[in-house]
Structure 1
Amino acid sequence: MGEGCRTRYPIVLVHGLLGFVRLPGHSYWNGIDVALRRRGVAVYPVRLSGVHDNEALGAQLLERIAAIRDASGAPRVNLLGHSQGGLSACYAAARRPDWVASVTTVATPNHGSEVADRLRGRRERLLARGIEGLARLMERLECAEPGLCLPLDGPASLLALTSAGMAAFNARYPQGLPGSWGGEGTGEVDGVRYYSWSGILPARDDAAVGFDPGHALCRQLARCFVREAGQNDGLVGRFSSHLGKVIRSDYPFDHLDVINRCGGRREGAADPLGVYLEHLARLAEAGL
C-alpha cells in the first residue's frame, strides 16, 4: 500500500470504555496508529473520559475534533471508534456533520450490550463505582497529556451501554442504523459515510489464541449472552454492532483482538491490523 491509501482527511482514533491513549509500556491501539501513519496518513488517537455516558463523551470528542481541525487545517476528519468510542463518534457526527467525513464503529454495541444488561441489578452501583475507580487509576498512569483529569461517571456509563440506554440514544441519533435486526443501515447520512465491523469469539481450538487472560475474560463474559449466544466477541453481539455499511461482523476476533491485542499472532483474513489497512484503502478510494 502506498500513495493510493492516503486519506483526504485525518483519522481520529476514539477509545472505548476504560480506554486511554498510552500507559507505561502499552498503547491502547497496539500499533494500529503507527501502521496507519506509515501509509502517510495523519492519525490522532484522542483521550476522553474513561467512563461516562455516550453524549458526554461525544461532547468531549467534538472539542478534540475542533482542536485537530485547527492544528491540521483539515475541515473534516474520519472517526474510527472502538466499542463505546463508536458511540462517541456517532454523537459527534450527528451534532457536527460538517466536521466529519466518515464514522467507522469497531465492535460497538450500537443496539446495546447484553453484558451491560446482565450487570444491572442490586450490585450495579458498587460495580459502577469500582469501574470508575479503575478509570481514575488508569488516568494517573496515562502518558499522553499526564495530569489531565476528566470527569467520570460509572453509573451513567453502565446505563448508557444497556439495550434500554442505547434505545434512547438511537431515538435521538439514528444515523446509519439498520431498519431491521441484523441488516445494514444507510451508508451516507448528511454527507457522513457510516461503516462498521466486529468479530465473534474464535473456536476454542484456534491455535492462534493460546493462553491470553483478556481472551479468557471475554469467554467468561460471553456467558451473559442469550439473544446472541455464540455470536458475540465477549462484550458485544455480532448483530448489535451493525451500523451503516457492514464490512463484516464475524471476524474471528474477541473484543480485544479487534484492536490488535493479539499482536500479530493472526495472519491473512484473521489479522486485525490488515483489516484496518484495508479500511484505510477503502476510505481513500471513497475520497475521504
Structure 2
Amino acid sequence: MSASRSPALTAALAASLVTLACGDAQGPGAGDGMTEGTGTAAGLTTTGDDPPEAPPTTTAPDDDDAGSGTQGHGETTGTGTGEPACDPNQLALVERDYLGVGEDVKGETLPACSEHRWYVAFPDESSWQIRLTRTDGSGPLRATVAYPDEPTALVWQAALAPPLVSGEAPAEAIFAVPRSGEFAVHVRSDSPDAAADYNLEFVCSIGCERETTRFPIVLVHGWTGFEAIGPLTYFYGVTAELESLGYPVEVAVLDPYNSTTVRSGQLAEQLDEFLVAQRARKLDLLGHSQGGIDSRAVVASHGYGDRVSVVVTIASPHRGTYITDLALGLAPGSVEAALGFLLNFVGAVSAQQKSDAEASFYSLSEHYMQDEFNPANPDDPRVQYISYTGRTCDAASFLIPGNDCQDLVDPLIGLGYAVLQVARGDNDGLVTVESAKWGDYRGEMIADHIDEVGQILGVTDLKFDHLEFYRERARDLFAEEH
C-alpha cells in the first residue's frame, strides 16, 4: 500500500499490544508495550503469575480455511498411568469462524488437547480492545494475534504481541493494527488436558471510522490504449480513494494488450507477490473488461481457487464481443473498419503491438470465449463470481425517453456502440449487457466502457460517480466477508 502515516501513528503501531486491565500473568515477552508479572503499562497496573518460559506448538489441520470444528470435551489422561493424554506442544488446531464487526465469542468451549483459531478483520490506523475471559475450567487460557499466513508452528513465537492470559480474572489489551485486513486470533489453555469455556470480545477504541475488507482488493485492468493523450492511471483515482478509507489495495500491471493466456500467467505471478506483501491467505479480484476474463482464468487455469475469495467483473465479455470477431474476419462485415477502430482504441502502432493486440482481440471474440475459453474455465465452487456492466447510447437514442438511456456514448467508442447495437443489442460501446453477465449479476451502471473506470481524467456522465461506485463495491465485499 502506498498510504503514508504520521510519525506519531508509526510509533503507536510499533507498540502493538498494551496491557490495559488486571488479569492473570501476561505471556512470554514484555516488549511491544506489554508488561508481565507485576508492572505498569500505559499508566495501568497488571498482576499475575509467571508464564511458562517456552511457547508450545500446535498441529495444524488439513484445511486452513476458517470454519467450525468440535472435539471431545472434558479431561483426558493416559490409560492407567495418570500422565497427561495430550502433548501441550502438539495440540490439535481447530478452525473456528470469521468474526465480523460487532461479533464476539460467548460461552465457547475449548476441547481438551486443542487450540482454537478465529479470524477477524481490522483496518490500519485503528486500535481495538481485546478481552479474554475464562468462564469455566481450570488453568489459565491464553489468546494472541498473528498474521493469518503465519505457519502454525510459529504462531506463538512470531505473534504480533505477547498473549493475553485469563485465569480467575479477565485479561484485556489494546491491539494497534499494523495493516488492514484479516488477522488470526489463537486461544489455548495452559492446562490442555481439561476442557475450558471462554468469552472473546473485540471493541474498537481508535480509528473506528476506518474501513477494510477481509482480503486485499486487486484491481485488474483491461485494454490500455490511452497513449495518444498521455499516460493515465487505468482505474482513475480508485486506488487512492479506497486506501484513504482504509482498504488494502494492490494493482496488477499486465501487458496492455495480449492474449488471456499470457496476461493470466502474469497475473498469477503478481498474486503470489501480493499475498506475501499483504500477509494474506486470499485476495479479492476486481477486473474491468479483459481484466475480468484474466481473473477467471487465473482461478480456473492456474489453480488459484484456494487463494481467491471473489471475482468481481465489470463489463467483461464473458461470451465474447462481436466487434472483435468482425475485426478478425470471424464474422461477416467490414474487417478493415472494425480492426482499425480497435487498434486505434488500444493505441497499437508498431507491428509487435498490432500482433499482441490481435491476440487480445481473439481472446475476447465470441468464437473463442464460447467455444474454447468457457468450457475450459468453469467456475470454482470455492470462489464467488459477481458481475456488473454499463449501458450507453448514441445521441438519437439518448433523446428518446422510451429508451431509458441516461448515458451518451463517448465519441472514442461511438463506432463500437453502433456496430454492437445493430448486431447484438444494448451495450457500453465495447461489450454487450448480455455478454457481461456472469455469476451473480448485480445490474447496470449509467456509464460507457470508458466511464466505468473514471476515464477520461475522472470526467464521466453527471449521473455516474465512478469513485462512489468502487467505494460501494468495497463495502459490499466487506459486508459479504470477502
What is the TM-score of this pair, normalised by structure 2?
Answer: 0.48
* Residue aligning to 1:143: none
Task: Report the CA distance between 1:54 and its aligned residue.
Answer: 1.1
Tell me the percent identity: 29
* Residue aligning to 1:277: 471
Correspondence 1:108 to 2:312: no
Q: For residues 74-105 of structure 1, what are the alpha-carbon distances to aligned partners after superposition, in whole Å with 9 as ceiling and x for unaligned?
A: 11111011100100100112221111111011
Give yes or no for contact 1:202–1:253 (8 Å, CA) kept in 2. no
The Cα RMSD (Å) is: 3.4
Task: Report the CA distance between 1:131 and its aligned residue.
Answer: 6.7
* Residue aligning to 1:287: 481
Change (3 A) 1:25 1:6: same
Change (3 A) 1:273 1:132: closer
Correspondence 1:90 to 2:296: yes
- Give every structure 1 segment of 4 or more consecutive aligned residues whose post-TM-superposition deviation is greater than 3 Å: 2-5, 126-137, 202-206, 264-268
Task: Work out which of the residue numbers 227, 246, 260 in structure 1 matches 2:454.
Answer: 260
The 2-side partners of 1:32 and 1:85 are apart by 16
Q: For residues 36-84 of structure 1, what are the alpha-carbon distances to aligned partners after superposition, in whole Å with 9 as ceiling and x for unaligned?
A: 1112011111110111111221111000000111111111111011100
Corresponding letter in the other structure for 1:83: S
Write 1 or 2 for the structure with the bigger share of strand: 2
Give yes or no for contact 1:132–1:153 (8 Å, CA) kept in 2. no
Give yes or no for contact 2:341–2:415 (8 Å, CA) kept in 1. no
Write 1 or 2 for the structure with the bigger share of helix: 1
> SS where residue 6 of structure 1 aligns?
coil
> SS where residue 92 of structure 1 aligns?
helix
Q: For residues 266-286 of structure 1, what are the alpha-carbon distances to aligned partners after superposition, in whole Å with 9 as ceiling and x for unaligned?
A: 456x32222211111110011
The 2-side partners of 1:265 and 1:169 are apart by 32
Task: Report the CA distance between 1:220 and its aligned residue.
Answer: 1.9
Corresponding letter in the other structure for 2:450: L
Correspondence 1:65 to 2:261: no
User: Which runs of no fewer than 5 residues in structure 2 stay unpaired?
Assistant: 1-207, 330-334, 400-405
Correspondence 1:223 to 2:418: yes
> SS where residue 101 of structure 1 aligns?
strand
* Residue aligning to 2:307: 99
Q: Give the stretch that moved more between structures: 71-80 or 215-224.
A: 215-224
> SS where residue 277 of structure 2 aligns?
helix
What is the TM-score of this pair, normalised by structure 1?
Answer: 0.77
Change (3 A) 1:30 1:129: closer
Aligned length: 256
* Residue aligning to 2:254: 48
* Residue aligning to 1:182: none
Relative contact order, CA 8 A, sep 6+: which one is greater? Answer: 1
Give yes or no for contact 2:225–2:346 (8 Å, CA) kept in 1. no
Give yes or no for contact 1:4–1:285 (8 Å, CA) kept in 2. no
User: Which runs of no fewer than 5 residues in structure 1 stay unpaired?
Assistant: 138-149, 176-188
Change (3 A) 1:258 1:193: same
The 2-side partners of 1:243 and 1:74 are apart by 26
The 1-side partners of 2:469 and 2:446 are apart by 12
> SS where residue 284 of structure 1 aligns?
helix
Larger Rg: 2
